[in-house]
Amino acid sequence: MYGLEGRKAIVTGAAHGIGRAIAARLLTEGCDVGILDFDLAAAEATAESLRKDGGKVAVAAGDVSSSAQVEAAVATLRAALGPIDILVNNAGILKVGKLLETSEADWKAHFSVNVDGLFHMTRAVAPEMVGNRKGAIVNIASWMGKSGVASYSAYCASKFAIIGITQSLATELGEHGVRVNAVGPGLIVDTKMRDESEIKRKAEGLPDAYERAQAIPLRRPGLPDDIAKAVAFLSSDEADYITGETISITGGLWND
């Protein structure tokens, strides 16, 4: 256990997959958790399931690409939970496609959700952390934010941006007692994003996740809880001298 009892966390995109696993892990660690997702019905269902294991879970609907919706959703969660100690910027999208085949709309969508969403959420939550002189922000990047991969140009570009923002923000907020780190998931299964990606890869005759996992030193794909464990650590005082880092959780797929 990482000693997060009594802390208040917001996790974006927490209705499914990695976000849900993060919310569940933070609850286990003693946090009260706010789920922010554009799919209100799915978020409510997730919250109801998580409440069965104890802990306080609040829900707010919002599209992170909209600053107005983010402000309203954060206000709702803050009213339900109190001052926010932990922000996990997890919401994101992935559309597989080579750069020359990527539409302008798909290109912009990656940045609107993956990058602008982080910008809006951080601006809505971080000032309170600065005022309280404490807080932890964990951004969900990707191992593809460290190495370009064919057919993922737009996604890679957005995740490279997240790592850059993480490093810059860490230098800006460090003197105020706020730490900013990122996690770079590798080949993670049991997520909607992975399922959608696998459909496109199959159509292109590309190997699936389990076939690709045989090239990973640990010989398995990752699970959402593998990411949740790292987020819990980075959110805790056990990581109180770590900031500006992006920790790859890849089973050895990517070493940096």
Quote the Cα angle for 146-88-40, to 5°: 120
Sign of CA pseudo-dihedral 231, 233, 235, 241: negative
Q: Which of 2, 152, 155, 210 is catalytic?
A: 155
Tell me whether residue 155 is one of the annotated catalytic residues.
yes
| CA distances in angstroms from 225 to 15, 34, 102, 130, listed in the order given | 14, 18, 31, 29
Nearest to residue 12, comparing CAs of 52, 51, 69? Answer: 69
Q: Compute the distance between CA of residue 165 and CA of residue 177 in angstroms, rounded to an integer.
A: 17
Residue that the structure tokens 């939970």 belong to: 81
Q: Compute the distance between CA of residue 45 and CA of residue 67 in angstroms, rounded to an integer.
A: 25
Answer whether 121's CB lies under 8 Å from 87's CB. yes
- List, by residue number, the catalytic residues: 155
